[in-house]
Homo-oligomer: A and B are copies of this chain.
């Protein structure tokens, strides 16, 4: 059956759990990290690279694809899966986050958002919950997100409530206008900035919609890590147990571990791919910048014992050379490594939860890993 979530291990010492979420394009083992393929490509990688990394699901951005090349074109070409040659699950966001980031060039109305974007030369657009459901149906992902208003992390309480209530109304509309609930799982998005009572109210409202999953938005938009962890802890008892919980836009190694500890099942973030393109890599001890002169003459692999294509075949001196010379291969090899690092971390986390040793694992990982921002 589509969109069943089978909870497999509930880890007694924390809110962490493992599960399997079934979609029309296959099952996803949770907790899961989803690589981001903004414009229908995970930057620098082929779909085959992603299969070799064993990415189980990827994300694509509705906002970008709606503007270029247009969701209708993608539909006419068989939908995102066929067009980009990826036949495992896909999740599309709703465009909400990007539209609200436009600042001056967007106007929030009760029934939707009017905006202009330089991506398509400044044409006027009006996105409503109903319109977003049409676009996401055209794109054809397995999991689609409801249209939401992502208020900034420093919003005052009054505005936070206003945006949250609008998000609730829009989620209800999305559910009403969703094109095909058998083909696509709609996830609503909890908002409420960093106000605990608003977050709880939003969680209850969204849970009552009884959709196949639930997401937490607005927690990587300027608030502190402490606020993020606090809100996750406050929310956890109010989230449905039997549905996957998706923390949007979060995906540093330390946040993945901390999120799972607080009951999160799904994550996405551009961090691993973006860092790679600036020449940085995740290692068990923290982030490193491959341009650093200490790598110039090093015969070591990027990470000893790592099984990714980059670490199995190239040494640090070669990666240093490629990054210094701005060679595309360097960006690609670091992208492969960084995604492998996070995907392997999630596989480790699932194993540790199942073995009943996750708290110890988390403590050890967080003690060792230095984010180095």
- Tell me the A residues contacting B by CB distance below 8 Å: 39-41, 43-48, 68-69, 73, 76-77, 83-85, 296-297, 299, 309, 313-315, 317-318, 320-322, 324-325, 327-329, 331-333
Further pairs besides A44-B328, A328-B331: 9, Cβ < 8 Å:
A39-B321, A40-B321, A43-B327, A45-B329, A46-B329, A77-B315, A77-B318, A85-B313, A328-B328
Residues of chain B contacted by A46 (CB below 8 angstroms):
309, 329, 332-333
Subset of 8 A-B contacts with CB under 8 Å: A39-B321, A41-B322, A43-B329, A46-B309, A68-B324, A69-B296, A83-B315, A83-B318
Pick the contact of A317: B69, B322, B327, B331 (CB < 8 A).
Answer: B69
Residues of chain B contacted by A85 (CB below 8 angstroms):
313-314, 318
* A69 near B321: Cβ-Cβ < 8 Å: yes
* B77 near A299: Cβ-Cβ < 8 Å: yes
In angstroms, Cα B322 to Cα A43, docked, is 10
In angstroms, Cα B83 to Cα A315, docked, is 7
Copies in the complex: 2
Closest CB in chain B relative to A299 CB, distance in Å: 6
Residues of chain B contacted by A47 (CB below 8 angstroms):
313
Residues of chain B contacted by A39 (CB below 8 angstroms):
321-322, 325, 327
In angstroms, Cα B44 to Cα A296, docked, is 21
* B309 near A68: Cβ-Cβ < 8 Å: no
Residues of chain B contacted by A297 (CB below 8 angstroms):
73, 76
* A318 near B40: Cβ-Cβ < 8 Å: yes
Nearest residue, chain B, Cβ from A78: B299
In angstroms, Cα B327 to Cα A331, docked, is 12
Q: Decide: A317 near B73, CB < 8 A? Known: A325-B68, A332-B328.
A: yes
In angstroms, Cα B318 to Cα A295, docked, is 38
Residues of chain B contacted by A322 (CB below 8 angstroms):
39, 41
Residues of chain B contacted by A328 (CB below 8 angstroms):
43-44, 328, 331-332
Residues of chain B contacted by A299 (CB below 8 angstroms):
77
Closest CB in chain B relative to A67 CB, distance in Å: 11
In angstroms, Cα B46 to Cα A327, docked, is 11
Residues of chain B contacted by A314 (CB below 8 angstroms):
85
